[in-house]
Amino acid sequence: MNALSPIGLIDSGAGGISVLKEAVRLMPQERYLFYGDQKNAPYGTKSKEEVLALVRAAVQYLLSRDIKALVLACNTATARAARELREELTIPVIGMEPALKPASFLYRGGKILVLATPGTLSSEKYGLLSSRWGQHAVSVPCPGLMEFVEEGGFDDPALLRYLENLFEPWRQSQVDAIVLGCTHYVFLKSLIQRFFPNTPVLDGNEGTVRQLQRVLDSRDLLLPPGETGSVTIESSGTSEHLAVLHRLFELPG
């Protein structure tokens, strides 16, 4: 493990590409290896034991590529596996966290909606986070939503119907903030904003990358500015799955 080694990122599928894009934006000099476990997606409806086994397998592959740090670019993987991996690995392990803390400061008497997978919302990690910062939060489980991103179905009428049904209970309510508790949902941010045009929509991507930056710096593992960075994207799935990852990475914004 040295500063020249890549930073490894894993996700159950394509959502972690949104974290990768943020990392490249803030640390363009670094080398990145992203692994999307699309063959086994989604993680959010699987048991803790299943997710932990899948994440461990993905991590072993990345370790064979000599990564210097691991980013669990998936809220469910973080909730189900981060603690165990930190006990097992010597490299830094950085996880995701729904942006509930910054959202709590936006409370003005309304509701804070937390959109996430059932696996994230039922996890002990999220329960602890919610007990501290979620007094006004409403958990909104979104089974099936990440699949629209995996399939690139941003123009699918079924996606709009899904969101319309999801948000119907809150359309007449005061919503002070919306938290995207799944990295896939970041790609749906503009669509979600249509339903709540004046409501802040928050995600944890920048905070995660800032933490990664701090940890690498503390271990003298940051590459200096001016180095030529690189991005390698791989998938456990098909060539079509891999094409989705590349397409999402190339999206503007």
Which active-site residues does the annotation give?
Answer: 74, 182
Q: Tokens for 32, please give them.
A: 């990145």
Q: What distance, in Å, lies between the first and last C-alpha atoms of the chain?
A: 32
Task: Give the whole-angstrom CA distance, residue 4 versus residue 7.
Answer: 9
DSSP the chain: --TTSPEEEEESSSTTHHHHHHHHHH-TTSEEEEEE-GGG---TTS-HHHHHHHHHHHHHHHHTTT-SEEEE-SHHHHHHHHHHHHHH-SS-EE----THHHHHTT-SSSEEEEEE-HHHHTSHHHHHHHHHH-TTEEEEE-TTHHHHHHTT-TT-HHHHHHHHHHHGGGTTS-EEEEEE-SGGGGGGHHHHHHHSTTS-EEESHHHHHHHHHHHHHHTT-PPPTTS--EEEEEESS-HHHHHHHHHHHTS--
